[in-house]
Structure 1
Amino acid sequence: MFFVDPQGDDRGPGTAERPFATLERARDAAGPGTVVALRAGTYRLTDTFRLTAAHSGVVYRAHGYGTPDQEEVVISGGHEIAQWSTGDDGTHRAELPGPAPRQLYADGRRVERAAIPLAGVPLVRTPDGYTVEDGGPGSWTGDVEFVYRGAYPWSEGRCRVAAVTGDARSTTITMAAPAFARATRLYHSVLRWEGPGAGEFHGVDAPTAAENSPAFLTDGTFATTGTVLHYRPHHGDGAAPPSTDGPTGVVAPVLETLLHARGVSDLTFQGVTFADATWLHPSTPQGFLHYHGNGYDNGGDLSTVTFADGQGQVTVPDDEASIPGNLLFEECHGVTLQGCRFVRLGGVAVEFRGAGAGNAVLDSEVADIAGGGLTIGEGARDHRIENNHVHRVGLDYHGSPAVLVTGATATVIAHNEVDDVPHNGIVVYEGRGTHVRNNLVHHTMQVLADGGGIYVSGPQGDSYESGAVLRGNVVRDTVTPWNWGIYTDYGAAHVTVEANVVHSSHAPVVLTVWPPLDRVTFTDNVWDADPGEAPDGVVLDGNTVLAPSALAADPRASAILHAAGRRTPAAPPRG
């Protein structure tokens, strides 16, 4: 066993009495079967913590893990801002240690980016941006960014402003290239249905907000101009009296990847908090042209998809990029993240990428994430996401789901609580043999539309036996219109939706989509509204309609309610 302490010394032997100081020193000393005990404190990384196959078979564990004496261990990619100047308006300014952050935290709490709504501003789109018969935008300094919420009902894009020019009568807003031209092409639809987005629509015609100018600052917000941070605290948010040097406890995330493991086997982290990382791609001239889930257009070909029965057409990216994980595991096997916290992160919290097998996230918390929570990608086999609390995700990129599985085989997502999500809760794209069981999913779809608490899209196998199973889940409070508790979409096939409770949603499930569902069975579910007649390819059998107030008294519904959600974690190993 080796010991590590932020106050230790890498020249020592790594014993309890003379611990190492850094994770890197412990990594290089440890071999298969080694336990690395992490003592309390914040380990501030100046570079990504990298692990390769040579670092397999090691357990990194918070000292006292699983006992009342467990120590608080934080691995941080952030830099604490210590040198401030203060203006007469109460705004504190500081030189940044690196690229301008997209997030900021004060005493561990998220500071909102300064923003103003653009609803009602008479913007007229031009090939390069906008004009407005008003001189107000002339005061916008800083690295201003436009937000396009609802560019499609399920999308929210972001483009930088390159320049603001004009006078008191008229302003010209030039948008960054190539993002704006790409956004103009991508966010174009002709929809002939009843619901959000109906008609011909150019998403860039209606930016919903402008962010990141000192002109937008209010108490409790920040903005950046180049390498200068502008921060106006709330009273009590680390705000110091005028006689002191400025706020304390303010952390700017610097690293984009906290941990990158490639080809590692049998790796374990227990009881560790991973925090304070960012993702800077949206700040580039390419912007963030979100399409669906964690996916965004990154400059490839665009195609027009025409719906059946003349319902309309949308433009889609042929090959989406995806928001990366701040913790990234590539081609890894037997990785276990247990009893950990993933907080204050600027991309996707944890991503398993490539043909790994047997990885697991257990008994952990994912919260305060700018993008998605947990992602399992193409080629993965036998991964487990069990007994976690995933909430307050998608804080900046509102299309990001709490849990996403795509192109994977035999994934189990069980006994998690997923809540406080702006779009889909659990997303299962095309794959094979995914089981979504006994999860409690609530208060999803809080910002964007056309989604669900649990969303399944595309073929899920070549038979019911190899397909997806959604069983024993409780899905409630899918709160906004044009959303469903459980949403099987876009040609979903070989899906069994069995013994779930769905209530307090716009509608419990949807049966008619395009492309149509194929061999999707809804059986023995309890929901609070009749979903209608089953079209070809869909089976409805043994489902019950009950008011939410009657669920607890119904034996079948009550059993499902009590079995869903998180359970008490098993006792951890000692030693």
Structure 2
Amino acid sequence: MLRPMRAAAFTAALLVVGAPAAIAHDAPPAKTVFVAPQASGPACSAHKPCSLATAQQRVRRLLADQEADGEARDITVQLADGTYRLTQTLNFTSQDSGRADSRVTWTAAPGAHPVLSGATRVTGWQLHDADAGIWSAPVPDGLDTRQVYVDGKRAPIAQTTPAEQNLKFAATPGGYTTTPATWGQVLQGRIGAAALKGVEFVYTGGNGPWTQSRCRTDTADGPVILMQQPCWGNVTKRPTFTQASGSLPSMSPGKAPTRIENAYPFLHTGQWYLDRDDHVLYYVPPENQDMEQLDVELPRLSALVTGSGTLDHPVRNITFSGLEFSYATWLDPSSRAGFSDVQDNLRITGDDPAHPQATCTFGTCPFGSLSREPGNIQFTAAHNINFEDNTFNHLGAAGLVLEYGSRHNTVEGNTFADISGNGIILGNTTDPHPSEVGADDRELSTHNTIANNLIHHIGADYPSAAGITLFFTQNTTVTHNELHDLPYTGISAGVVQGHVDNAAHPDNSTNINSDNTISHNLIHGFMQVLKDGGAVYVEGHQGQTITAPDGTVDRAASIAHGLNVEGNVAYDQGNSNFTWYDDARAQWIDWTGNVEWGGYLGQGGCQTTGHLDFTGNYSSDPTGEYHCSPPVPVDTHADGNRVIPPQPAAADLPLDTLTTAGLVGRFQHLTTDERPVIGYLQSPSGSPVSQPVDVLVAGSGYDAHTRVSFGDIPAAKVSTLSSGFLIATAPAGANPARVAVTTANGSVSATAPALNVARNRPAEQSSTWEGSSGTTYPAGNAVDGNDGNFSDTKNETQPWWQVDLGQSHPLDQIVIYNRTDCCQSRLSDYYVIVSDEPFTSSGLADTLAQPGVWSSHQSAQADRPTTVDVQGHQGRYVRLQLAGTNELALAEVQVLPR
């Protein structure tokens, strides 16, 4: 009886999501304050608008007058079109709050697109080094950043790799010895001792395959490079402990970095470097960019908008709508603490890894007060704050954080994209039981709703990020969001490895989590960079253990008030792991009616406590898998689950679940306003069919007017289920494996996997890179159907990779996927070569001159994907070869016949 009651409450919550606050019929008319980007003066009228700062002071006076008069009047601050370049954080307190029965709304003027920016536009460019194509421009004194954007796109910082530097590492106390022995001193001689302290080593997978830590160098003396403390100790000397739910692994001190960043000599095409001493920004534009015309934005604020409430005086009753929050940075990873990654962008930052961080008394507090990433928009003790129909992008930390006593807030209908860290964070990692440290329940984050948001391309700098993260929360609803193109997990619930709040009972990892719901979300293209995560990833206790009057555990009540994960759909997993992942000490979770396919493991975890229901789910992959056990999870129940094919057709799936997953109603425009995406295509055949067949297409951006064609033949019928799914009927004579989708915002084409004649075919390359740990990247990685790993050659002149298709085909397209973890610029200035006969030379010129060869020169950096039209040329052998000297790395190569 408890679950139906909870479902009814959940339905009621959906009905009020995004609804305006009730206003009495006799309420006085709202007051409007008008703002414009370059405005000045105190009027704040439609004809004489004012600045943001003046508008905030005007609102405070109006609120004070209302308080004195006993009035309750809504106030609207209307922002005109344009960019508002903030010189300091726009901070809201209880003085800016609406009253109990009124709101203050900061919103875009009709038809306007106001942008709140924390960046300085860089001008005054001059050619600095003509041979290297390096340009320079002055920046204001004291300006620092970790990001630069060129024409609205994130530019990579100057970087290199150990292979490019022909560099080997061995452990020494506090750092490394290098081969060549002079590398560090030569670099220091070129850039100076101060700049050497800015050189940053990046370690993908260093502290577990779910992490990417960063530490900076300190000094170079002979062959020895010392790393900055406390970062190096926090990365390599994490203490061991016996907590049954796992450990936080230390990185081997001899592990070579994945890449090395932030020094002038590392500059490559498309990259930037900031000389903080001389206040100069350097940039190497690609050939197609004109420095005189570029918009180069350098973020300088770490916080754009904040809400500084307190438990006694919360910030409340404010709405933000129609605004864009863009261009902010975050400088903590540049400190000596670096970025000692734990998971989900939680970090160890203390001065000594052997001592507690904050108030925890167990080791380094792996279960306690880990440092949480801040938000570029962050609210503390926030009540009834609404973020509706905004855009959060080009941000250097987390997009939005609601923490510490935040309740009854709504985040709905927003887009989160191009963010360095997490998309949305709710709750705190500290105080799992506030009452035990003298606080009261006002500290809890409760009754918050995150709904109908579009979240993609987050974790751009710190890829252990999740799209949505819940820490310690109650009565949270996360529903109808669409998340795609993610480096790691989609939605994460719980603090890493549970939470030990009392060292006297470390196995009792209790917290205040209860009554949270993750439902009807659409998650695809996740786990694209890191490993060991999932579409929905859960750790620790998700509900309270409720006892009956006789002292026994009331299982029904405990499950009903735990975590409900229901009606979510996930596909297109990159690096394989569990799709629905109940991990370390997870318990009291109800997985119901979820759908997943094309992963590796459908559901399971590692050292899970238990108390789990898994009911009515559709999965193409094994479920109930607990590879790290014993202990075997206790009290698990599975019932009514269905096994579906790895490449399911529409008939294999519950279409009502597909229809309701992701954005619904008026919020579907967040995807339909963008170019369509195809993330999955199921075709019953790879050749023309003799009778009509239905084809399932999954992705993003579909609407009732979407058109579908199969080659040049229009679909006989298109049934759009939602913005993320459609079913198209291929008529007789059409090839259902070759699909094009067209909307008002563009077209996209794709082919079913069965049509890729390169998959799992024999591949070879000119050499194979081997990492310091012995890991290799063979040629076959580029044709294994998984674009989350990659092949890689050594750093050499004109490296090549090739595949034997087994027989000759008339070829239509070759589809190339660049890697995602780093170094994408290496895959540029290359040739795609097709031959019906084996290649007879390793040299590029000789290969291009070989009789019967077809080739295409690709000068630009490869994308994900880059599609090369082969124009029907006949071929059995396909080669990719760089024109210059570098490593050749390929995430995936697909070869599509005509």
TM-score (normalizing by structure 2): 0.57
- Write the deviation string for residues 338-383 of structure 1: whole angstroms up to 9, x where unpaired: 0000001001110001112111111110000011110001321111
Secondary structure, counterpart of 1:395 in structure 2: coil
What amino acid does structure 2 have at the position aligned with 1:560?
T
Percent of aligned pairs with the same residue? 31
Shift of 1:164: 3.6
Number of the residue aligned with 1:494: 588
Q: Please state how far the C-alpha of 1:160 moved relative to its aligned partner.
A: 0.9
Q: From the superposition, tell whether residues 478 and 550 of structure 1 become closer, same or farther in structure 2 (CA, over 3 Å).
A: closer
Aligned length: 536
Q: CA deviation at 1:206?
A: 2.7
Q: Does the alignment pair 1:323 with 2:405?
A: no
CA 1:186–1:571: 2 relative to 1, 3 Å = closer
**1:201: how far off?**
5.8
Match of 1:382 in 2: 447
Q: Is 1:77 the counterpart of 2:175 in the alignment?
A: no
For the pair shown, which has the larger CA radius of gyration, 1 or 2? 2
- Code of the residue aligned with 2:47 in structure 1: it is E
Alignment pair present for 1:27 and 2:42: no
Cα pair 2:321 2:387 within 8 Å, conserved: yes
Give the Cα–Cα distance (whole angstroms) in 2 for the partners of residues 299 and 204 of structure 1: 22
**Unaligned runs of at least 5 residues, structure 2:** 1-31, 64-73, 99-103, 243-247, 309-313, 356-362, 429-443, 496-512, 545-557, 627-631, 670-898
- Kindly state the Cα deviation for residue 459 of structure 1 after the two structures are TM-superposed: 0.9
Cα distance, 1:125 vs structure 2: 1.6
Residues 385 and 420 of structure 1: CA distance in aligned 2, closer, same or farther (over 3 Å) = same
Partner of 1:346: 396
In structure 2, what is the Cα distance between the partners aligned to 1:549 and 1:154?
27
Cα distance in structure 1, aligned partners of 2:77 and 2:368: 45
Please report how far the alpha carbon of residue 468 of structure 1 lies from its aligned counterpart in structure 2 after TM superposition. 0.5
Structure 1 counterpart of 2:732: none
1:206 alignment partner, one of 246, 256, 262 = 256
Q: Does residue 1:111 correspond to 2:155, yes or no?
A: yes
Which letter does structure 2 place at the counterpart of 1:149?
T
Q: Distance in 2 between matches of 1:474 and 1:36?
A: 39
Trace 1:434-453 onto structure 2 (pairs within 5 A). 434-453=516-535
- Report runs of 4+ in structure 1 exceeding 6 Å deviation: 187-190
CA 466–292 in structure 1, closer or farther in 2 if over 3 Å, else same:
same
CA contact (8 A) 1:154 1:399 kept: yes
Higher mean C-alpha deviation, range 369-378 or range 556-565: 556-565
1:102 matched to 2:146? The reply is: yes
Aligned to 1:177: 229
Partner of 2:567: 472
Confirm whether residue 90 of structure 1 aligns to residue 146 of structure 2: no
Amino acid in the other structure paired with 1:364: N
Instruction: Please point out which of 391, 404, 408 is paired with 2:473.
Output: 408
Instruction: Provide the secondary structure at the position in 1 that maps to 2:401.
Output: strand
Secondary structure of 2:655's aligned partner: helix
Residue matched to 2:489: 424
Shift of 1:551: 4.5
1:520 maps to what in 2? 612
2:173 to 105, 110, 127: 127
Whichever residue aligns with residue 514 of structure 2, its letter is R
- Ranges in structure 1 where 5+ consecutive residues have no aligned partner: 65-69, 191-196, 241-245, 305-312
Instruction: Give the aligned partner of residue 322 of structure 2.
Output: 271
Are the structure 2 counterparts of residues 221 and 364 from structure 1 closer, same or farther at C-alpha, using a change threshold of 3 Å? Answer: same
Task: Give deviations 1:376-398, integer Å, cap 9, x for gaps.
Answer: 01321111111011111111111
Please give the alpha-carbon distance, in whole angstroms, between the structure 1 residues aligned to 2:251 and 2:226.
Answer: 21
Change (3 A) 1:164 1:86: farther
Q: Which moved more, 1:276-285 or 1:27-36?
A: 27-36
Instruction: Note the alpha carbon deviations across 1:241-299, whole angstroms, 9 max, x for none.
Output: xxxxx563101100011111122111001100000001001111111111111210011
SS in structure 2 at match of 1:490: coil
Q: 2:600 aligns with which of 498, 506, 517?
A: 506
Question: Is this contact kept in 2: 1:189–1:315, CA < 8 A?
Answer: no
User: Aligned residue for 1:307?
Assistant: none
Q: CA deviation at 1:571?
A: 12
Secondary structure in 1 aligned to 2:145?
A: coil
Is the partner of 1:205 in helix, strand or coil? coil
Deviation by residue 1:183-208 (Cα, 9 ceiling, x = unmatched): 22139899xxxxxx99x961662321
Higher helix share: 2
Deviates more, 1:135-144 or 1:535-544: 135-144
Rate the CA distance shift 1:15–1:566 in 2: closer, same or farther, 3 A. Answer: same
Tell me how far 1:165 sits from its aligned partner. 4.7
TM-score (norm 1): 0.88
Q: 1:330 to 1:457 in 2, by over 3 A?
A: same
Give the residue type in structure 1 aligned to 2:637. Answer: V
> Greater share of strand residues, 1 or 2?
1
The 1:300–1:406 alpha-carbon spacing in structure 2 relative to 1, beyond 3 Å, is farther
Tell me by how many angstroms 1:533 deviates.
Answer: 7.0
The residue number in structure 2 matching 1:553 is 651
- Residues 523 and 541 in structure 1, CA contact (< 8 A), matched pair in contact too: yes
Structure 1 Cα separation of the partners of residues 538 and 603 of structure 2: 11
SS at match of 1:248: coil
CA contact (8 A) 1:94 1:229 kept: yes
* TM-superposed deviation, 1:325: 0.6
> Cα deviations across residues 115-155 of structure 1 (Å, max 9, x unaligned)?
22235731112113212121445246342100011011111
CA distance in structure 2 between the aligned counterparts of 1:570 and 1:282, rounded to whole angstroms: 35
C-alpha displacement of 1:449: 1.3
Match of 1:529 among 606, 617, 621: 621
Instruction: Indicate if the aligned counterparts of 1:187 and 1:204 stay in contact, CA closer than 8 A.
Output: no
Q: Could you tell me how far apart the structure 2 residues matched to 1:250 and 1:389 are?
A: 26
Matched, 1:144 2:242: no
Residue 611 of structure 2 aligns with an amino acid whose one-letter code is R
State the partner residue of 1:2. 33
Q: For 1:52 and 1:126, how far apart are their aligned partners in 2?
A: 50
Alignment partners' CA distance in 2, 1:300 and 1:286? 8
Per the TM alignment, residue 236 of structure 1 is displaced from its structure 2 partner at its CA by: 3.7
Following TM superposition, by how much is the alpha carbon of 1:332 offset from its aligned partner in structure 2, in angstroms? 0.8
Aligned-residue offset at 1:72 = 1.0
Q: Which whole-Å CA distance do the structure 2 matches of 1:40 and 1:533 have between them?
A: 53
Give the match for residue 229 of structure 1: 281
Measure how far apart 1:529 and its partner are. Answer: 2.2
SS in 1 for 2:106: strand
Give a deviation string over 1:90-109, Cα, whole Å, max 9, x none. 21223333343111001111
Whole-Å Cα distance in 2 between the matches of residues 172 and 155 of structure 1? 26
Query: Which structure is higher in RCO with an 8 Å CA cutoff and minimum separation 6?
Result: 1
Amino acid at match of 1:130: Y
C-alpha displacement of 1:478? 1.7
Relative to structure 1, the CA distance from residue 236 to residue 188 in structure 2 (aligned partners, 3 Å threshold; closer, same or farther) is farther
- Structure-2 change in CA distance of 1:332 and 1:533 (3 Å): closer
Structure-2 separation of matches of 1:317 and 1:93? 46
The correspondence for 2:305, drawn from 259, 273, 285, is 259
Q: Contact 1:188–1:201 (CA<8 Å) still a contact in 2?
A: no
Shift in Å at residue 316 of structure 1?
4.0
CA 346–187 in structure 1, closer or farther in 2 if over 3 Å, else same: farther
Pair 1:206–1:301, CA change in 2 (3 A):
same
| Structure 2 CA distance for partners of 1:203 and 1:566, relative to 1, 3 Å | farther
Q: Any idea what SS the aligned residue of 2:475 has? A: coil
CA distance in 2, matches of 1:41, 1:56: 25
Q: Is the 8 A contact 2:348 2:370 kept in 1?
A: yes
1:565 aligned to 662, 667, 677, which one?
662
Query: 1:300 Cα shift?
Result: 6.2
C-alpha contact (below 8 Å) 2:613/2:637 kept by paired residues: yes
Alpha-carbon distance in structure 2 between the residues aligned to 1:571 and 1:503: 23
